[in-house]
Amino acid sequence: MEANRHLADALSEAGLTQDELAEAVNDYLRSLGREGTVSDRTVRHWLTGKTRWPHPRQREALEAVFGRTAGELGFTPPAGRRLPARTEDPVHRRNFLTAATGTATSAVVPLIASRPYSVGTTDVIRLRSGLDALTALDATRGGHEALERAALAGAAEALDLQKRAASQRIRQRLFSVAANYTASAAWSAVDARQSDRALTHLNRALYLAGMGKDPVAELRVWNSHAMLAVHRGEFSQAVDAGQAAQASAVTRRDPLFASLAHARTAIGHSVVGDRRGALRSLGYAEDALGKASPDEARPSWVAFYGPAELLAITAYVRDDIGDAAGAEAASHRALAAIPKQFRRNRALATLQLALTQLHQRDVDQACATADQVFALMAGDPLPGRMRSYLGDFLRDLITLAPDSGTAREWEDRYRSEWSQAR
């Protein structure tokens, strides 16, 4: 008897337990007026391979829950029988992206038409799937108003659905989903340098995370709070927010989240001038990350964080505390490791490398490196945070090399690109 790895992987990706999958399948069956009798034992039989071919109604429900065919979920019919043809997609998932423009929509298509039954686990899974699309868009293009609007619409829909939740547990999950959509909107505003809107969204997201009893969403909010505090020049609050992230319950069971919280605290210490505290927090972040399992199921928003991002943060911190050479080395290592899909993060790491080179008075190389930022982000407007950092580079360039011909050429290039990037 061979375990069904395809189903196990789908279960992990959806963030479901065996009990929750049973509940989702039963929700679907009941929505069609059928009896829901699937238990965690049934799911265990599917996972272990004891049941290789569920009966038709269960297969239909599984396809609806995961948006995959029975064959894609690892099920095989008895010998002599063929897999049934799939005539249509079994689940109409939320679409937050407009194919023609590649941007987030300003209005969200309703996930669920008017239904006579209460909202259950299947509805939560479908709503969660939209978060992944927004995260992917952010990783490529960065924060912008259309993404922010789509995220807020997703949060509003989750809160509307919780009014018809089948149980208190479903209500909590929907509050959690709403918290994550609101946190996505907040992060988009942070990246776009819309700090007042970001602060409003973050405070709302923290409330919703509490209602949903979701420590991961809580950490996510504090992580963004720490970044926003740096942008606003509230440096002591950046340390406080990083330490609040460290106190989130999830850091005790997943070292990766603990590492992220320590890394964010390191930035806070560096901007307040606490060199020892910054290096100590970086050490804690490295130690925790070394204990983190890469196979742990985690939400898509945290996929950006790993060895490459920690190196990028290390470069920022070391440059801030006056170790430009160490910062440059960390920047090179970060750029060698950042996955290609994180285009915005790669551009930011490239800009950080340029700053470290500039702070070592290597003006020609710094300007050549900074040029790459425009090439990396070609085709999309620059997020507000990146535009601000480019302005920081220009100010340092003028201060450190006011009479350099290369500096004047780069300033001309910067102003030309700036006008085109709006």
Residue 344 banded pLDDT, cuts 50, 70, 90: confident
CA-to-CA distance for 212 and 204, rounded, in angstroms?
12
Most confident of 1-15, 255-269, 385-399: 255-269
What's the pLDDT score for residue 112? 37
What's the pLDDT score for residue 82? 61
What's the pLDDT score for residue 84? 57
What's the pLDDT score for residue 95? 38
**Residue 186 pLDDT > 60:** yes
**Residue 333 pLDDT > 80:** yes
How buried is 70 (Cβ within 10 angstroms: 0-12 exposed, 13-18 middle, 19+ buried)?
buried
More confident residue, 403 or 211: 211
Helix axes 56-66, 5-14, angle to 10 degrees: 40
| pLDDT, tens digit (0-9, with 9 covering 90-100), for 399-413 | 998 888 888 888 887
What's the pLDDT score for residue 133? 86
Please provide the average confidence, as pLDDT, over all residues in the chain: 85
Q: Among positive and negative, which fits the CA dihedral 25, 28, 34, 35?
A: positive
H, E, C per residue of the chain: CCCCHHHHHHHHHHCCCHHHHHHHHHHHHHHCCCCCCCCHHHHHHHHHCCCCCCCHHHHHHHHHHHCCCCCCCCCCCCCCCCCCCCCCCCCCCCCCEECCCCEECCCCCCCCCCCCCCECHHHHHHHHHHHHHHHHHHHHHCCCHHHHHHHHHHHHHHHHHHHHECCHHHHHHHHHHHHHHHHHHHHHHHHCCCHHHHHHHHHHHHHHHHHCCCHHHHHHHHHHHHHHHHHCCCHHHHHHHHHHHHCCHHHHCCHHHHHHHHHHHHHHHHHCCCHHHHHHHHHHHHHHHHHCCCCCCCCHHHHHCCHHHHHHHHHHHHHHCCCHHHHHHHHHHHHHHCCCCCHHHHHHHHHHHHHHHHCCCCHHHHHHHHHHHHHHCCCCCCCHHHHHHHHHHHHHHHHHCCCCHHHHHHHHHHHHHHHHHC
CA-to-CA distance for 338 and 224, rounded, in angstroms?
20
Residue 85 banded pLDDT, cuts 50, 70, 90: low
CA-to-CA distance for 209 and 346, rounded, in angstroms?
30
CA-to-CA distance for 121 and 30, rounded, in angstroms?
12
How buried is 166 (Cβ within 10 angstroms: 0-12 exposed, 13-18 middle, 19+ buried)?
middle
**Residue 240 pLDDT > 70:** yes
Stated length of the chain: 422
**Residue 79 pLDDT > 80:** no
- CA geometry: angle 269, 213, 131, nearest 5 deg: 80
| pLDDT, tens digit (0-9, with 9 covering 90-100), for 155-177 | 999 999 988 887 888 889 999 99
Mean pLDDT (whole number) for 288-315: 92
pTM here is: 0.77
What's the pLDDT score for residue 419? 62
Mean pLDDT (whole number) for 3-27: 82
Domain boundary assignment for the chain? 5-66, 118-213
What's the pLDDT score for residue 215? 94
CA-to-CA distance for 252 and 113, rounded, in angstroms?
40
Q: What percent of the chain has pLDDT over 70?
A: 89
What's the pLDDT score for residue 64? 81
Residue 91 banded pLDDT, cuts 50, 70, 90: very low
Mean pLDDT (whole number) for 6-27: 81
Closest CA to 305 of 275, 366, 363, 262: 262
Range with the poorest average pLDDT among 78-87, 116-125, 255-264, 340-349: 78-87
Tokens of 347: 């551009």
Mean pLDDT (whole number) for 297-302: 87
How buried is 56 (Cβ within 10 angstroms: 0-12 exposed, 13-18 middle, 19+ buried)?
exposed
Contact 62, 88 (CB under 8 A): no
Residue 108 banded pLDDT, cuts 50, 70, 90: very low
Residue 223 banded pLDDT, cuts 50, 70, 90: very high
Tokens of 262: 């320590």
Which residue type occupies 287?
D
Contact 329, 357 (CB under 8 A): no
Closest CA to 62 of 82, 87, 36, 80: 36
Contact 386, 145 (CB under 8 A): no
